Structure 1
Amino acid sequence: MHRRHLYPLTQGGRLSAFSRRSHASASIAGVTPPTDPFTAIAPFYDLDFEDYYDDVSFYQSLAEYHGDTVLELGCGTGRVAVPLAQSGLRVTGVDINAAMLAIAKQRMGTRRGLTLKRGDMCRVDLKRTFALVTVPLGGVQHLASVEAFADAIATIARHLAPGGVAVVDIEAPHRDDFDPTPQPIVEHWTKPWTGGGQVTKLVSVESRPSEGMKDITWHFDIATRTGALRRVTTAFTFRTITLPEVTLAGRLAGLRTVAAFGDYEFTPFGDFSERMIVLLQHPDQPSPPYATLAEAGRR
Structure 2
Amino acid sequence: MWHGEYRHPRLVEVYDAECPWGWDDDFFMAVLAEHSAPRVLDLGCGTGRLAIAMAAAGHAVTAVDPAGPALDAARRKPGAALVQWIEGSIGELGTREFDAAFLTGHVAQFFVTDQEWSSLLHAVRRALDEGGRLVFDSRDPEAAAWEQWNPDESWRSIVLGDGGVVEAWTEVASVSGGVVSLAHHYRFSDGEKLTSQETLRFRTAEELRASLHAAGFRVEQIYGGWGREPVGLSDDGELIVIAAAFS
Q: Which residue of 195, 207, 211 corresponds with 1:245?
A: 207
Structure 2 segments unaligned to the other structure (5+ residues) = none
1:273-295 per-position Cα deviation (integer Å, ceiling 9, x unaligned): 621111111237xxxxxxxxxxx
Output the amino acid matched with 1:278: V
Cα displacement (A) at 1:220: 1.3
Q: Which residue of 82, 93, 97 corresponds with 2:67?
A: 97
Larger-gyration structure (1/2): 1
Q: Which residue of 63, 73, 79 corresponds with 2:49?
A: 79
Cα displacement (A) at 1:189: 1.6
The separation in 2 between residues aligned to 1:74 and 1:182, in whole angstroms, is 23
Report the equivalent of 1:220.
186
Cα displacement (A) at 1:43: 2.2
Change (3 A) 1:102 1:128: farther
1:229 is paired with a residue whose SS is: coil
Cα displacement (A) at 1:234: 1.0
Q: Which residue of 214, 234, 238 corresponds with 1:275?
A: 238
Listed as ranges, the matches of 1:150-229 within 5 Å are: 150-174=118-142, 176=144, 184=151, 186-195=153-162, 197-209=164-176, 211-223=177-189, 228-229=190-191
Report the equivalent of 1:133.
101
Change (3 A) 1:186 1:221: farther
Structure in which a larger fraction of residues adopt helix = 2
The separation in 2 between residues aligned to 1:189 and 1:35, in whole angstroms, is 21
Determine if the alignment matches structure 1 residue 148 to structure 2 residue 116.
Answer: yes
2:116 is paired with a residue whose SS is: helix
Determine if the alignment matches structure 1 residue 44 to structure 2 residue 6.
Answer: no
Change (3 A) 1:155 1:261: same
Cα displacement (A) at 1:74: 0.5
**TM-score (norm. length: structure 2):** 0.87
The separation in 1 between residues aligned to 2:14 and 2:146, in whole angstroms, is 29
The separation in 2 between residues aligned to 1:59 and 1:102, in whole angstroms, is 23
Count of equivalent residues: 242
Cα displacement (A) at 1:184: 4.8
**TM-score (norm. length: structure 1):** 0.73
Output the amino acid matched with 1:39: R
Output the amino acid matched with 1:57: D
State the Cα RMSD in Å. 2.5
The separation in 2 between residues aligned to 1:216 and 1:183, in whole angstroms, is 10
Cα displacement (A) at 1:162: 1.8
Report the equivalent of 2:196.
234
Q: Which residue of 120, 123, 128 corresponds with 2:89?
A: 120
Q: Is the 8 A contact 1:177 1:240 kept in 2?
A: no
The separation in 2 between residues aligned to 1:93 and 1:212, in whole angstroms, is 29
Output the amino acid matched with 2:62: T
Q: Is the 8 A contact 2:48 2:74 kept in 1?
A: yes
The separation in 1 between residues aligned to 2:158 and 2:12, in whole angstroms, is 15
